[in-house]
């Protein structure tokens, strides 16, 4: 799955990843996981509504790729220091404790930029959709951007 | 719920960011990055000597602030955030925001807000925008 053997890709190779789809998968909001997530985020565990952080957790947890696989699509590894850029959670219906969600999505943007002090870097956007396995309803969208430093 | 543009959201505080919760989070996320659980790794990278909090946890604190104000996590419709800086173990944090619009959409009364998370006495580490559903105004006036 990893393309990291390519090394630093050209701007054209980076752009060519737009539209590449994730294998996808399924994520279950297990009650034990809901309890632990509430605990680490300093919230009260609930019996029904899952913490909205689960939109990100479920989406990124069921892309069908490891983080290194995803970085590899852009010729990078975790040790290259990719950074979390921006995130957007959109909730159409709150996730439930015990719910099972299907995840699908794709790379939506990829662009080479050059910062005055940071030098060249790539900004990659990807969007994931969550569907409730029980009734097929589209319950949430998770959009993220990753910044890949490109040291020359 | 009587909400007007310009109203400040009640602040939500973290007394001291826990390094132990970062370890649990690393396991929950299957995140192998040692800056979240190994102070030696943080030192080796020249980032100080305290583990770095996971970005999703910082985002989660803002979600908690919005839930405490709006009446529950089921009120959140949208949250967009930009990560501006690191939070370290032991940091004291405050999350807050301000209402920028109140509107109706598909029968729901919504509040758009600007939100932030900041180290107490320091700069914001996260900024963004959010939309939450408000309880119908009639609920409290009946």
Q: How much is the pLDDT for B136? A: 64
Parent domain of B75: 8-17+53-141
Q: How much is the pLDDT for A6? A: 52
Mean pLDDT throughout B21-50? Answer: 90
pLDDT one-digit tens code per residue, A5-38 = 557 899 999 999 999 999 999 999 999 999 999 9
CB contact under 8 A, A41 and B14: no
d(CA A40, CA B122): 23
Same domain? B95 vs B82: yes
Same domain? B103 vs B38: no
A152 falls in which pLDDT band (50, 70, 90)? low
- Does residue B2 belong to any structural domain of this protein? no
Whether the pLDDT of residue B141 is over 60: the answer is: no
ipTM, 2 dp? 0.92
Angle at B65 between CA A46 and CA B29, to 5 degrees: 60
Nearest to A71 by CA among A2, A121, A16: A2
Query: How high does pLDDT run on average in chain A?
Result: 92
Nearest to A61 by CA among A22, A94, A98, A93: A22
Chain A: give the shortest CA distance to residue B4, in Å.
Answer: 23
Q: Enumerate the residues of chain A whose CB falls inside 8 A of the CB of residue B83.
A: 83-87
- Greater pLDDT, A118 or B142: A118
d(CA A85, CA A118): 14
- String of b and e for A10-49 (b: at least 16 CB within 10 Å)? eeebbeebeeeebebeebebeeebbebbbebbbbeebeeb
Question: Which domains are delineated in chain A?
Answer: 4-149 (3.10.129.10)
Whether the pLDDT of residue B30 is over 90: the answer is: no
Which CATH number fits the domain that encloses residue B130? 3.10.129.10
Same domain? B127 vs B64: yes
CB contact under 8 A, B81 and A42: no
CB contact under 8 A, B73 and A52: yes
Gyration radius (Cα) of chain B, Å: 17
């Amino acid at each position: 799955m990893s393309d990291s053997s390519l090394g630093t890709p050209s701007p054209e190779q980076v752009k060519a990843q737009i539209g590449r789809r994730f294998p996808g998968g399924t994520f279950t909001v297990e009650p034990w996981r809901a309890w632990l997530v509430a605990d680490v985020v300093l919230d009260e565990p609930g019996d029904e509504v899952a913490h909205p952080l689960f939109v990100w957790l479920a989406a990124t947890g069921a892309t069908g790729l490891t983080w290194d696989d995803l970085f590899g699509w852009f010729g990078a590894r975790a040790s290259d220091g990719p950074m979390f850029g921006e995130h957007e959670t959109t909730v159409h219906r709150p996730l439930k404790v015990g719910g099972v969600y299907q995840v699908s999505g794709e790379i939506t943007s990829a662009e080479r930029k050059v910062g005055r002090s940071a030098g060249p870097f790539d900004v990659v956007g990807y969007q994931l959709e969550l569907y409730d396995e029980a009734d097929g309803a589209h319950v949430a969208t998770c959009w993220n951007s990753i910044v890949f430093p490109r040291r020359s | 719920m009587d909400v007007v543009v310009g109203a400040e959201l009640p602040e939500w505080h973290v007394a001291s960011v826990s390094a132990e919760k970062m370890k649990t989070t690393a396991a929950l996320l299957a995140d192998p990055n040692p800056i979240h659980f190994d102070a030696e790794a943080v030192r080796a990278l020249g980032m100080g000597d305290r583990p770095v909090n996971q970005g999703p946890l910082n985002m989660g604190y803002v979600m908690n602030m919005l839930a405490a104000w709006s009446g529950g996590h089921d009120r959140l419709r949208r949250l967009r955030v930009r990560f501006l800086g690191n939070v370290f173990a032991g940091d004291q944090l405050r999350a807050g925001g301000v209402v920028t619009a109140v509107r109706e959409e598909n029968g729901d009364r919504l509040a758009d807000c600007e939100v932030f998370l900041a180290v107490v006495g320091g700069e914001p580490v996260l900024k963004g925008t959010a939309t939450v559903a408000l309880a119908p105004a009639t609920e409290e006036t009946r």
